[in-house]
Amino acid sequence: MENNFFALRSLILLLPLILFMAFMVGISVYVRHKQAGKNFVSSYFVGNRELGGFVLAMTTVATYSSVSSFVGGPGMAFQVGFGWIYMAVVQVTAIFLVLGIFGKRVAILARKLNAVTVVDIIRARFQSDFLAAVAAFVIVLFFCGTMTAQFVGGAKLFAAVTGYSYEAGLILFGLVVVIYTSIGGFRAVALTDTCCAIMMMIGIVLLLHYVLQAGGGYENIMTTLEKNNPEIFEPFSFGNMPWTIYFTQWLLVGICTIALPQSVVRGISYKNTQGLHQAMLIGTVVVGFMNIGINFTGILAHGVLPGSAADYGGVDNIIPTTIVLAMPTELVGLAIIGPLAASISTISGLLIVASSAIIKDVYLHWAEKKQRDVASNKDNKTSKSFLIPNSSFLINVTPARVKILSMAATAIIGATVFVIALTPPSLIWLINMFAFGGLETAFFWTLLLGLFWKRANKLGAMLSMTGGTIIYCATQAAGFKIFNLHQITIGITCSLILFLIGSYIGKKSDEATLKLFFP
């Protein structure tokens, strides 16, 4: 009888998640069917630039939010208090800024250049295949780090809440997200992201309701906290929340996130200006609700979990433990969809951009260039063929081949990260922040100055992206800090200095490029 009870409980826990995952796969199959016959590269990587305001807002929010936002963040709020909310509230501006600063600019340029990726725009602005290759490499490298963190964080959350193994969770949601992203491409990612964002909000509302109920109401929780944990109400948390954390986190998860490739590429995909403006407003409201709501829930969890975070195995266990203790069994399976949706939406968004970096930015560009060389060699019989034996199939680009390679690249990247996550690294939150910092160091000045400053040139962008990223990684590896600030401050500063030096000593961009970008 007892075994039957636990079997039934397990089924109740898993059923909502299984149905949600099946729905995600169904969306991808539907999208692939609807996109049949359209330009595959455009449909697979940017959804044929047809996203409306609501979907654009939701996919940007869902990609920006991660499992750290729903597990590590509120866990830190539990430990630190309102200071963590004051620090994290800067993220509310992220969607508004990324779409407001880059959205229309990137969309106009993408249509002029027939660009499908952020790297396409970087290549055209700086007229450098080498810089484009470096950008693609940086994207794939740091995206793999971020995706690993999402896989591991989601699987650990699944195991902690359901009682199933870590590996079971990884297989259940990890393989599904790789499958539906590989099949459906960007359009499927955008639609599934929208579903994920909705589930995140539902999860927050449910958890907040039951935490307040379990804690005896808002006033009771606040009164108890004021008596037992007065530091929670102090902005610096009696030294637990120093100004250095405020400053570096405002940079790392706030201001500098406007140049993350996975966010900027959303600007290429929207349908019209009206949709962009709608997305800016909707996205700001939604990310504000989610960010403040889940972190505030972390503080209120004191009404359910007496003691410190250490008593429950650390900050990452606060939300999983709260879900189990505060919510009815029949709703636990529904509640964990929210944080898991944050994980899978981030993975799918990163997967499609990483895939485009390999197929569109490297392979297709190389193949098209070689095709031109072949045509030139036929006209000039004295020229030597560039081809190596048996390599002609690589440049024989057909729609069917591009489709197969694109889906294969997405699946291979996802499967690689999945295998890495089977032996989970520790310090998931730090891995996520390391990857964020690397992407921001590489792309912040390259995109911001490249798209808004005429003087920006190829040498400046190359020095900034390569030098800044190497310096950032080196200081991370050495544990070197200045005034105990996160290494993003070193990376972003060195990146700017190198960009300015290169732009003033290097050759100016040609007039044709400047006329195209600054008409």
180-237 tens-digit pLDDT: 888 878 778 888 888 888 888 888 899 999 999 998 999 999 998 888 888 889 888 8
Both tokens of residue 446?
């390259």
Higher pLDDT, 72 or 437: 437
Both tokens of residue 331?
């709703």
What is the distance between the alpha carbons of residues 68 and 347, in angstroms, rounded to a whole number?
Answer: 13
Task: Give residue 104's pLDDT.
Answer: 85
Distances (CA, A) of 202 to 85, 208, 279: 20, 10, 20
CB within 8 Å of 114: residues ≥ 6 apart: none
What is the distance between the alpha carbons of residues 78 and 84, in angstroms, rounded to a whole number?
Answer: 9
Task: Give residue 429's pLDDT.
Answer: 59
- Whether residue 381 is predicted with pLDDT greater than 60 in this model: the reply is no
Distances (CA, A) of 75 to 155, 213, 292, 297: 17, 19, 13, 9
Taking the CA of residue 3 as centre, how many other CA atoms within 13 Å lie in the half-sphere pointing to its CB? Answer: 0
- Whether residue 383 is predicted with pLDDT greater than 50 in this model: the reply is no
The proportion of the chain whose per-residue pLDDT surpasses 70, expressed as a percent, equals 88
- Whether residue 50 is predicted with pLDDT greater than 50 in this model: the reply is yes
Owner of token pair 């004191």:
302
Closest CA to 182 of 397, 25, 344: 25
Task: Give residue 235's pLDDT.
Answer: 87
CB within 8 Å of 426: residues ≥ 6 apart: none
CB burial string 102-140: b at 16+ within 10 A, e below:
bbebbbebbeeeebbbbbbbbbbbbebeebbbbbbbbbb
Both tokens of residue 153?
């964080």
Task: Summarize pLDDT for 128-139 with one digit per residue, the tens.
Answer: 989 999 999 999
Helix axes 468-478, 488-505, angle to 10 degrees: 150
Among 191-195, 394-398, 417-421, 461-465, name the most confident range.
461-465
Q: What is the dihedral of CA 142, 146, 149, 153, to 10 degrees?
A: 180
Task: Summarize pLDDT for 258-303 with one digit per residue, the tens.
Answer: 888 888 887 787 778 888 888 889 988 988 898 899 999 999 999 8
Please write down the HEC assignment for all residues of 466-484.
Answer: HHHHHHHHHHHHHCCCCCC
Neighbours of 373 (CB within 10 A): 15
pLDDT averaged over every residue in the chain: 83
Task: Give residue 515's pLDDT.
Answer: 92
Owner of token pair 């309102």:
82
Task: Give residue 469's pLDDT.
Answer: 95
Among 82-86, 235-239, 341-345, name the most confident range.
82-86
Q: What is the mean pLDDT of residues 470-477?
A: 93
What is the distance between the alpha carbons of residues 231 and 299, in angstroms, rounded to a whole number?
Answer: 12
Q: What is the mean pLDDT of residues 376-394?
A: 46
Owner of token pair 């500063």:
493
Both tokens of residue 265?
């590429």
